A = this chain, B = another copy of it.
Amino acid sequence: MVAGNSHFGNIKDLVMRCVILNISEWEAFKESFTLIKVPAKKILLKKGQVAHHLYFVNHGILRLYYINSRGEDITAFFFKEKLFAGSYESFILQKPSLQQIEALEDTELLSISFDKLQELYKEIPKINILTRVITEQRFITGQEIFSSFILKTAEERYVLFSEKHPDLLLRVPLQYVASFLGMTAVSLSRIRRRLIKSSLIS
């Protein structure tokens, strides 16, 4: 689907914070993206497939998750509005993904292919600044999750999540939040009841 100017507001804010593009560079950047709309529950990437695309979320939520050898579903990340999303390791290396991606809501995305991105790097080398910053942010987010598993209790992780992402608690099924926080849905419910009782959260 061809994306109009109205679909590029959020990505433009992000790009312009990282790098100064002139009009023709911005046009070339825009034209590298395709607008796609995916209905809730649609699986965009299955494990074992190569992630050929990177997405920018205009509306909706993508969930990145693992299916382990026991068939259990473990959420790795929620990508909501204004974030670049994807199985980034698979995308960078162009190798089969360990993770899956699904839409949790009707979702509108701007999609860029791996090949298009490599063309952009050649055409507009400054795009390396943008992807450096985006990759730094993905690294930092990954580190924060890893550190929270080492340094915090399950309850502390939940309190932090509810402070940082109160919207996600309303938009995402609780069992996905539970596995993202490293606990069962039953443990999460118990923690929520305890916190509500002690008025720590509403």
Q: Which of A105-113, A125-133, A169-177 lies on the face that meets chain B?
A: A125-133
Q: Is the CB of B150 within 8 A of A68?
A: yes
Q: Which residues of B contact A202 (CB under 8 A)?
A: none
Number of interface residues, chain A, beta carbon within 8 A: 31
Say whether chain A's binding surface is mostly helix, strand, loop, or mixed: helix
Q: Is the CB of B128 within 8 A of A98?
A: no
Q: Is the CB of A74 within 8 A of B150?
A: yes
- Nearest opposing residue in chain B for A19, CB measure: B128
Known: A132-B131, A135-B139, A136-B135. A150 touches B89 (CB 8 A): no
Known: A145-B146, A151-B69. A132 touches B140 (CB 8 A): no
Interface residues of A in 39-79 (CB under 8 A from B): 66, 68-69, 74, 76
Complex-state Cα separation, A131 to B139, whole angstroms = 13
Q: Is the CB of B151 within 8 A of A68?
A: yes
Q: Which residues of B contact A92 (CB under 8 A)?
A: 136, 139-140
Complex-state Cα separation, A65 to B146, whole angstroms = 12
Q: Can you give 19 contacting A-B residue pairs, CB < 8 Å?
A: A66-B147, A66-B150, A68-B151, A69-B151, A76-B150, A88-B143, A89-B139, A89-B143, A89-B144, A92-B136, A92-B139, A92-B140, A99-B147, A125-B126, A125-B129, A126-B128, A135-B139, A142-B143, A145-B146
Report which A residues bind B (CB closer than 8 A).
66, 68-69, 74, 76, 88-89, 92-93, 98-99, 121, 125-126, 128-129, 131-132, 135-136, 138-140, 142-147, 150-151
